[in-house]
Amino acid sequence: MALQSRQTQKNTTSSSGFIPEKYRDLAYILGLIAAIIVFLSPVLFSGGSFGSSDNVASKSFTPYLEKAKQSGDFAHWNPHIFSGLPSFAALLTTGDRWYDIMSKVFFTINRGFAASFGGDVMRIAFFYMVFAAGMYLFMRTKNMERYISFFTAFAATFSTWIIIWIVIGHNTKPIALSMFPYILMCLEKLRAKFSILYSALLIVAVHILSESTHVQMMFYGVCTFGIYLLFELVSRIISKDEPLGEAPVF
C-alpha cells in the first residue's frame, strides 16, 4: 500500500506543472543553452570577439591556407614557421578532407549555427552548449533528478577553468571536451547492454574528439574514461553488484 501510495503521489507530481512531463528534459537543456548565451551576450550580440593572443595568432594561418586552396594543394607543410614545419602531421592545419563525412556534417552544422549570430564567438559557444546538454543527459542516464542534472551540467560548463577557454582563445579544447559526456554515456550504456546504436554513437563521439586535434585533451579523455570504468568495476565488486548490467536505482 505504501509503495502504491508513493507511486500515485509521484504520478500526480509528474502530471502537474506548467511544462508537460515529456518536454521537461528539453526545457532544462534549453535553460542551459540560454544561460550560455546570456553569459556571452556582450560579445555575441555586438559582433565582437575576444582579443586574446591565441585568437590573433590563429589568423596567421589564413594566408597559407588560402594560398594552398588556390593552388589546389593539400596543406601538408607550412614553410612560414621556423623555416618550415609539418602542418597536417602536426595537427596545425589541414586541407579539404571531403571524404570525412561525420566531420563534414558536424562542423557544417557548427558553422551554420554560428553564422546565424554573425560572429566567430558563437562557433566556440556551440561546443559549450553541446557539452552542457551532454552533461545533463549523462546525469539523467545515472538516474539523477532533473534539477540535480541541471545543476551538475551548469556547474561543469561554468567552472572557471572551462568557461575561460573561450576568452583566452583555447578554441580546440571545448571541441574535445564537448564529447566527454557523450563518450561516458555510451560507455555506460554499452557496459549495461551491448547496442549497435550506442556503439555507432560512441564511434561518432570519439571521431569528433579526435577531430578537435587537441592531443592533450584527448589524453585527458582517455584517462577520464579509463578511471571511470575502473571506478565502476571496483565499486561494483565492493558492493557485490554485477560488473555488467544496469546500475541500481536508489
Task: Supply the DSSP symbol for 247.
Answer: P
Structural domain includes residue 6: no
Strand bridging mode 85-86 / 77-78: antiparallel
For residue 85, the cross-strand partners are 78
Structural domain includes residue 121: yes
Structural domain includes residue 14: no
Considering only CA atoms, which of 209, 184, 216 is closest in space to residue 198?
184
> What pLDDT, on the 0 to 100 scale, is given for residue 192?
83
- The number of distinct structural domains making up the chain is 1
Structural domain includes residue 180: yes
Reduce the DSSP state of residue 64 to 3 states and report it: helix
Q: What is the chain's pLDDT, residue by residue, as a tens digit (250 residues)?
A: 444 444 444 454 445 578 888 899 999 999 999 999 999 988 877 666 676 666 667 777 778 778 877 877 777 787 777 777 787 766 677 766 778 888 889 999 998 888 877 678 888 999 999 999 999 999 999 889 999 999 999 999 999 989 999 988 888 999 999 999 999 999 989 988 889 999 999 999 999 999 988 899 999 999 999 999 899 888 888 887 776 666 544 3
Q: What is the pTM of this model?
A: 0.81
Burial classification of residue 208, based on how many CB atoms lie within 10 Å of its CB (0-12 exposed, 13-18 middle, 19 or more buried): buried
Task: Tell the residue number behind the cell numbers 540560454, with chain if given.
Answer: 34
Q: Which domain holds residue 55?
A: 19-239
> What pLDDT, on the 0 to 100 scale, is given for residue 3?
43
CA distance 209 to 206: 5
